[in-house]
Amino acid sequence: MTNRIEQCVILCGGLGSRLGELTRTTPKPLLPIGERPFLDILLAEMGRQGFRKILLLAAFESEQIREFARTSPAAAQFGLTVSVTVEPDRAGTGGALWHARDLLDDEFLLFNGDSWFDVLLADVAGLLQADVNAIGALTLRAVPDASRFGTVELDGNTVTRFATRPDRAGPGMVNGGVYAFRKSLIERLQPSCSLENDVLPQLASEGRLHGREASGFFLDIGVPESYAEAQTVIPKQLRRPALFLDRDGVLNHDTGHVGTPERFEWIEGARETVRRANQAGYYVFLVTNQAGIARGYYSEDDYHHLYRHIGAQLLEAGAHLDDMRYSPYHPDAAVEQYRLASDWRKPGSGMLLDLLQRWPVDTDHSFMIGDNDTDIAAATGAQIKGYLFPGGNLLDFVLNQTPLGKSLAEARQ
């Protein structure tokens, strides 16, 4: 990606009339999944994939949406900036965007606030940016019953037809509710209009709407049956295996206390490894000793600056780290505040255990890659399998030596 999309826009204004009493006084995106609003799950998905700028398009019970934006746990966890705009009346999905036109970036991702499609958001953005003539791109999902959705026909990566709901039940390719748009879309909108019915069919007829089928988890909570199903299937979907990665010697060449972007040099195959793990449905966590902070070679602010640099370069490769932990401690630290024998410093397992406590990780299928025996000891202490990386191409090592390689091979069969 040359110009990375940063803004995520979420449609939150629907009445949810098919859910009856459940949405009489509650906006559909705020319906709870367990004890957590559905919208917070969506924000966490955006945050863990590296997106930080969120715009909520509200209408019905908009003050509840504003209060959610002020108190969202996901926003606090990932440092999201969450803004809310309210359409003046019932404007439809296209009208909601039209009224928010002054707040939209030149390129943005758009989501339905009542559905979750588990896809790599960088791929959706990349599909739009691959063609300068495209105005929009969307993700598609094959479902056994397309009667609740609009159906889509695809020729290569070009959407050729965007239809309304079919008359009868049956399988079909449907709009997954995750889009990437250029702001020139606004020229096609009216103060009151439907994106799905009035705008997307026209873009498809002009060949300016791209699409790609994805097979990720998909659920729309818009009817009572699917909302009830969400209470069990969403927690199961959020529980996934994790790949824990050491940094120096695994992601980058270890030239000694790397603390600045200028000294950071990727290991061959490292970015593709992270992307493959993302595609396979793994969480990807960075766990790294940073004795350079303890020794005074660079500061924690320097470390975070470098981490943001790493994240930006991963996003350009269509990949992301879900979370990270670092240990600035050392028993012989030159900087007194870091002079500590901490279990967060590998071979201690503190960093891994903290991630396991905060994320719904399937530990039985998780593993760690490090270049030092201390990495393996930390993994063992957290009851995670550890693999010692000898150097070379990280992707080759992962494909040939680890469970992720087996998972990817099975996915291709």
CA atoms of 85 and 101, how far apart (whole Å): 10
Catalytic residue, chosen from 123, 248, 322, 323, is 248
246 among known catalytic residues: yes
248 among known catalytic residues: yes
For residues 179 and 109, the answer to whether their CB atoms sit within 8 Å is: yes
Q: One-letter amino acid identity for 22? A: L
Q: Tell me whether strands 158-162 and 152-155 are parallel, antiparallel or unpaired.
A: antiparallel
For residues 94 and 198, the answer to whether their CB atoms sit within 8 Å is: yes
Q: Tell me whether strands 283-289 and 158-162 are parallel, antiparallel or unpaired.
A: unpaired
For residues 286 and 247, the answer to whether their CB atoms sit within 8 Å is: yes
Catalytic residue, chosen from 123, 220, 246, 322, is 246
> Helices 270-279 & 394-401, crossing angle to 10 degrees?
40
Q: One-letter amino acid identity for 121? A: L
- Name the strand (E) or helix (H) holding 32: strand 32-33
CA atoms of 93 and 198, how far apart (whole Å): 10
Q: Tell me the catalytic residues.
A: 246, 248
